[in-house]
Structure 1
């Protein structure tokens, strides 16, 4: 299905920390998005954007998926937390200026307590990177953070 929501409508990040360029499609358990590497991209260095930032691109695509689920229920997107990743493997050290990164995230598990697991794929100029990300989305992020800090 073609996306009918903008990144700003789905992801709670704002300003330069909102890293996705576009939502390109979605289905019941997946979402695809794109990131354009531009001269104003966050984390840009002389060689490009370091490849480790791909994990944040994946996490924000998952955030967009979660935000989409909330919007479809008539609610505002909620904050989620990246708990960890497994098997992030990428064959390049940087994403090149001018490159368009394609992302696809697929939900493979969701527990009642807010824990979720996603399989993620990132495709660039002639390469593909994959990872599994674990996410936690509490009902009330402010209470969760306050309790975690005390």
Structure 2
């Protein structure tokens, strides 16, 4: 079995916006990442010593991006640029994640159609599910991405 690469290689994020620590396991349809809540997270509330529960959506989005980056890496490609289109039914049993808590982050692809995908995701603490949602994501083809990128200073593109 191949050794898993660092998430920093698979995601287009850098610290401090890279908020997930480790890729634990990945397969054709599923991914498992892990992170420990710390003051290094840009959304960490230093006064209350916790990470707000809603940040779980971003942690799960980065987990899904780790899955996509791994698929590209395995195929010998650079990670694709992807977009989080939205989340559905984010339900959290906790309002915040306390400092030092280890969060296990899971995603499973349940639908994929021409770059549009839906992932069923959850966050676990010590084996107990504490948050769930579905994430809708889009990874455009390279040609489509080039069409989407517009330089506001290029007058030819605006005419």
Q: TM-score, normalised by structure 2?
A: 0.85
Q: Does 1:105 align with 2:107?
A: yes
Q: Separation in 1 of the partners of 2:43 and 2:2?
A: 29
Q: Separation in 1 of the partners of 2:149 and 2:104?
A: 32
Structure 2 equivalent of residue 53 of structure 1: 55
Alignment of 1:62-101 (within 5 A): 62-101=64-103
Q: Deviations over 1:11-31 (max 9, x none)?
A: 111120001111111111101
Q: Separation in 1 of the partners of 2:2 and 2:44?
A: 29
Aligned residue pair count:
147
Give the gaps of 5 or more residues in structure 2: 152-157
Classify the secondary structure of the residue corresponding to 2:16: helix
Say if 2:88 and 2:135, in contact at 8 Å, map to a contact too.
Answer: yes
Give the gaps of 5 or more residues in structure 1: none
Q: TM-score, normalised by structure 1?
A: 0.90
* RMSD (Å), alpha carbons: 1.9
Q: Separation in 1 of the partners of 2:130 and 2:149?
A: 35
Structure 1 equivalent of residue 154 of structure 2: none
